[in-house]
Amino acid sequence: MTAPVSRRDWLRFATATTAGLVSQLPAPRNASAARNPRWDESIEKGLDWLRRNQSTRGHWNTQVYPTAMTALAGTALIGSGSTTAQGPFARQVARATDFVISKSRDNGLIGDPQSDARYTYGHGFSMLFLSQVLGEEGLIDRRQELVDVLTKAVAFSGSAQTAAGGWGYVSAREGNDFDEGSTTITQVQGLRGCRNAGIPVPGEVIDKAKEYIYGCKNPDGGISYSSKQRGSSRPAITAAALAALYDAGDYSSEHIPEMLKYAKENLHDISDSTRAFGHWHYTYLYYSQVVYRQGDDLWLPFRDKLYERIVSDQRADGYWEGQIHPVYITACNLTMLQLDRGYLPIYQR
């Protein structure tokens, strides 16, 4: 196995790419097999599209879920190796960081209930994004601000958790204790990112979330929509639940093999018939994380198919179209395409 590229080497490479000087520098080494140059060209185009479409305030004008969209796009930019201070997208990462910080409320919620109707998504994605920023933040004032925002955010997540251990679209109090799988996963990943960055996270919150996921498992190994609305297994939520359990430190409980078997049977071929319930990009954003952590024997053949599918769907201007908004789809695709570059701690093996 070749050594992973250092952050400094990658930043030199990425800066040269932006300047059109890529031919003068060697491509970054990767811990996995060689990457297809076509994938990296696609990444460059997608990142540049995000750069061009970011507002001066740091967000993207999506009209829907502005906090969540900014956090997802910012995470994709960090995946390139840029930080708030270094790299070709440092300015964009810093702006996105400041925008998301500005959405922190006194009660710890990161988001605006008036514009973020299902604010739990944005809160989770924001915890994930800001926790990845914190690990590389060099400015003392911003670093302290990040610590303060994330500490309050963790407390809000704990208070918003339902009695069953999950989360709903809004807090348990506002949502009459309703919970469901997709929002629960955003909280678990966000909380894990915070813990990795040194923010205290109560162990009982994570333990309750794990038990919630286990309780939603059906006999076929798949995860149902909600603890209160049990039904058929959902491949998308199963993939996300697996990724969340890995983040929560569960790699080998009795539930994992059954969930992996179900996910692989339903998702691994990446065909149009995949039972993603209309959420293809959400599904593979999480399933790609699951496969990546299984090792290269499984990851590399899967990666080739996944990346070719993603690249073939890209528009000439650099973005991708799909459900919710192009910013959402573009951010998801860029995160997947950069997964094995290894710059986002939350997704590392």
The rounded distance, in Å, linking the Cα atoms of 55 and 37 is 30
Residue 19, pLDDT above cutoff 80:
no
pLDDT for residue 273: 60
Contacts for 116 with CB less than 8 Å, ≥ 6 apart: 65, 66, 67, 68, 122
The mean per-residue pLDDT over the stretch 97-121 comes to 95
Taking 70 as the threshold, does the pLDDT of residue 119 lie above it?
yes
Phi (first) and psi of residue 110, to 5 degrees: -100, 105
Mean pLDDT, range 214-234, rounded to an integer: 92
Is the pLDDT assigned to residue 45 strictly greater than 50?
Answer: yes
Give pLDDT tens digits for 61-98: 998 899 999 999 999 999 999 999 999 999 999 999 99
Say what the pLDDT of residue 323 is: 86
| Confidence (pLDDT) at 132 | 97
Q: Domain 45-347 adopts which CATH fold?
A: Glycosyltransferase (1.50.10)
Task: Delimit the domains of the chain by residue range.
Answer: 45-347
The strand pairing partners of 104, in sequence order, are: 110
Better-scored residue on pLDDT, 63 or 32: 63
Q: Residue 272: which pLDDT band, with cuts at 50, 70 and 90?
A: low
pLDDT at 12 over 50: no
The residue-averaged pLDDT of 236-260 equals 95
In the prediction, which pLDDT does 34 show?
86
Give the C-alpha separation, 180 to 68, whole Å: 18
pLDDT at 116: 84
pLDDT at 243 over 90: yes
Q: Any idea which of 5-9, 140-144, 211-215, 279-283 has the lowest mean pLDDT?
A: 5-9
- Residue 153 pLDDT > 50: yes
Looking at the predicted structure, is the pLDDT value of residue 8 above 70? Answer: no
Residue 119's CB: how many other CB atoms inside 10 A? 27
The residues, any chain, with a CB within 8 Å of residue 153's CB and separated by 6 or more, are 104, 108, 109, 110, 123, 126, 127, 130, 190, 194
Q: Please compute the mean of the pLDDT values over residues 314-330 and round it to a whole number.
A: 96
Give CA–CA dist 141/131, Å, rounded.
Answer: 15
Q: Which residue(s) pair with 54 in the sheet?
A: 60
Question: From the CB of residue 114, how many other CB atoms can be counted at a distance below 10 Å?
Answer: 7
Examine the pLDDT at 300 and tell me if it is beyond 90.
yes
Across 178-184, average pLDDT: 95
Arithmetic mean of pLDDT, 329-346: 96
Mean pLDDT, residues 209-214? 96
- Which residue did the predictor score with more confidence, 165 or 3? 165
Question: Quick check: 209 and 255 in contact, CB under 8 A?
Answer: no
Sequence-separated contacts (24+) of 258-265 with Cβ below 8 Å: 258/217, 258/220, 258/221, 259/217, 259/221, 259/222, 259/223, 260/221, 260/290, 261/221, 262/220, 262/221, 262/222, 262/233, 262/235, 262/238, 263/221, 263/222, 263/235, 263/238, 263/239, 263/287, 263/290
What local confidence, expressed as pLDDT, does residue 253 receive? Answer: 94
User: What's the whole-number average pLDDT of the chain?
Assistant: 90
- Strand, helix or coil at 223? strand
Read off the pLDDT of each residue in 185-210 and give the average, rounded to a whole number: 97
How far apart, in whole angstroms, are the C-alpha atoms of residue 171 and residue 159?
A: 8
Mark 187-199 as b/e (b = at least 16 C-beta within 10 Å). Answer: bbbbbbbbbbbeb
Confidence check: pLDDT of 278 > 80 = no
Per-residue model confidence (pLDDT) at position 4:
41
Could you tell me which residues are beta bridge partners of residue 234? 223
pLDDT at 137: 87
Task: Reply yes or no on whether the pLDDT at 275 is more than 90.
Answer: no
139 bridge partner residues: none
Per residue in 323-332, pLDDT (tens digit) is 899 999 999 9
